[in-house]
Structure 1
Amino acid sequence: MKDINFIFLILTLVAEIIGTIGGFGSSVFFVPLGNFYFDFQSVLGLTAIFHLSSNLSKIFLFKKGLDKRLLLSIGIPSVIFVVIGGFLSKIFNSNFLEIFLGIFLIGFSLLFLIKSKLSISPNDKNAVVGGALSGFSAGLLGTGGAIRGLTMASFNLEKSVFIATSAFIDFLIDFSRTFVYYSNGYIHKHNLKYVPFLFIIGLIGTFIGKKILAHIPQSKFRRLSLSLILIVGIITMTKLLFKL
């Protein structure tokens, strides 16, 4: 227990709660926060493991809202491209990947906060493209929920449907990339001590997030998600500036 960083675990719980409220999963927060405590590749490995339990919790708590059509059109390309992105993550320098992640999160969120009426057409083609991009980003950078969230937001889904479908797709992504990250050597033996804690945090954080989400009006849902992504992007870039 003396080697366990409890501040990291508390921040992980916060990331899980906010990720549930935002609807795009905790990895968009967990990855940049984890980089304060571990190297980037270790964070990728821990993210995949943590998300397996986290998304199982969401699937259980929001199971009545699953959209099977979007599960196929977004989920299948996501799984294919997360494998590709996972293998490519071994090629690129981790500092480059962190910078790219921060820039992407800030640019993405600002664009849609400023251009609030800008949207993606809710059709099968965009669902497939969005799924492919989110899967590739998840494999390469550790998080693809923001892209998937934007794609799914275009379909104007009710909150529980949005979260349940996103969580199921995320689970398929995490299950696939866990094997890729393991073969890449990202899942380290000395970090496995965090797994039981992360599993419990996934359950508790999702439950708390669901309770809070019940009090958030549907009209504010998308803007809240984008605001949270912007905050994470700023945190990521601030950390990198101190690192340089």
Structure 2
Amino acid sequence: MKINYIFLLLALLAEIIGTIGGFGSSVFFVPIGNFYFDFYSVLGMTAIFHLSSNVSKIFLFKKGLDKKLLLYIGAPSVLFVIIGGFLSKIVDGLLLTIVLGVFLVIFSLFFLIKSEVVVLPNKKNAIIGGTLSGFSAGLLGTGGAIRGLTMAAFNLEKNAFIATSAFIDFLIDFSRTFVYYENGYIGKQELTYLPFLFAIGLIGTYLGKRILNYIPQERFRKLSLLFVLLIGLATIIQLTIKHWDKIS
């Protein structure tokens, strides 16, 4: 099978940006992958790709881990990624993907415009964010942006943000890999890309961390929200292009 090197280059960029933003590469990797492969192959690739990249993030940012958020966001994320993973086999993801894109645009714009608004860093908000991000990750392949919005509200120091997000992401990916394999999403094609994606996960995380050292803490939250806004817009544009014939 011929390897698509343009796709791999874009995957590297997704990993670098995902590391800087703090919510993982899937929010970029999934829309990129959908241009080259079918939806279910992208789900399988995303899970195995993230396992390597999140191990790298945990190693590089481990000193900043927030254990309370790991519990409050991570536990519901793991439970609902399994539920979402099984539902992905029977639910048409098109409408849900549109809803996700619109949601990300509206909420990121709200927090960017109303920067003085503070979401209380409480257990309830963390659990709701973990539930939504886990379910979205299982069903659509990406839930990091929702988790990014949740964690941005807690205004964590950037190393704590990335370390905690990566650990939660690792638990999510570890769980959904088994579900996706059972669903038949991980086959010969996906495994062929595995060594390339593993290397990209390591290299992209390292480069993203180096770049992040030059970003002041006060700009980090705004940068994260800008990435989420771009993700939402990219999702909507991608769907519009892909399904233009049905729309018109």
TM above 0.5, yes or no, is yes
Confirm or deny that 1:17 pairs with 2:16: yes
After superposition, the C-alpha distances for 1:87-122 in whole angstroms (9 at most, x for unaligned) are 111122243343233323323322222222333210
Aligned to 1:29: 28
From the superposition, tell whether residues 125 and 143 of structure 1 become closer, same or farther in structure 2 (CA, over 3 Å). same
- Displacement over 6 Å in runs of 4+: none
From the superposition, tell whether residues 11 and 83 of structure 1 become closer, same or farther in structure 2 (CA, over 3 Å). same
Cα distance between partner residues in 1 of 2:183 and 2:191: 16
Cα distance between partner residues in 1 of 2:151 and 2:239: 30
Share of identical aligned residues, percent? 73
Deviation of 1:62 after TM superposition, in Å, equals: 0.6
Structure 1 residues without counterparts, runs of 5 or longer: none
CA contact (8 A) 2:78 2:134 kept: yes
Confirm or deny that 1:190 pairs with 2:189: yes
From the superposition, tell whether residues 61 and 235 of structure 1 become closer, same or farther in structure 2 (CA, over 3 Å). same
Cα distance between partner residues in 2 of 1:98 and 1:129: 19
Give the number of equivalent residue pairs.
Answer: 243
Instruction: Give the TM-score taking structure 2 as reference length.
Output: 0.93
Cα distance between partner residues in 2 of 1:41 and 1:116: 37
Aligned to 1:137: 136
Instruction: Give the TM-score taking structure 1 as reference length.
Output: 0.94
Aligned to 2:37: 38
Aligned to 2:114: 115
- Aligned pairs (5 A) from 1:199-214: 199-214=198-213
After superposition, the C-alpha distances for 1:14-41 in whole angstroms (9 at most, x for unaligned) are 0000000001111111111111111111
For residue 199 of structure 1, what is the amino acid of its counterpart? F
From the superposition, tell whether residues 241 and 150 of structure 1 become closer, same or farther in structure 2 (CA, over 3 Å). closer
CA contact (8 A) 1:40 1:94 kept: no
Structure 2 residues without counterparts, runs of 5 or longer: none
CA RMSD of aligned residues (A): 1.4
For residue 60 of structure 1, what is the amino acid of its counterpart? F
CA contact (8 A) 2:93 2:140 kept: no
CA contact (8 A) 2:21 2:227 kept: yes
CA contact (8 A) 1:57 1:203 kept: yes
Cα distance between partner residues in 2 of 1:177 and 1:66: 22
Deviation of 1:146 after TM superposition, in Å, equals: 1.5
Deviation of 1:222 after TM superposition, in Å, equals: 1.2
Deviation of 1:212 after TM superposition, in Å, equals: 0.5
From the superposition, tell whether residues 118 and 216 of structure 1 become closer, same or farther in structure 2 (CA, over 3 Å). same
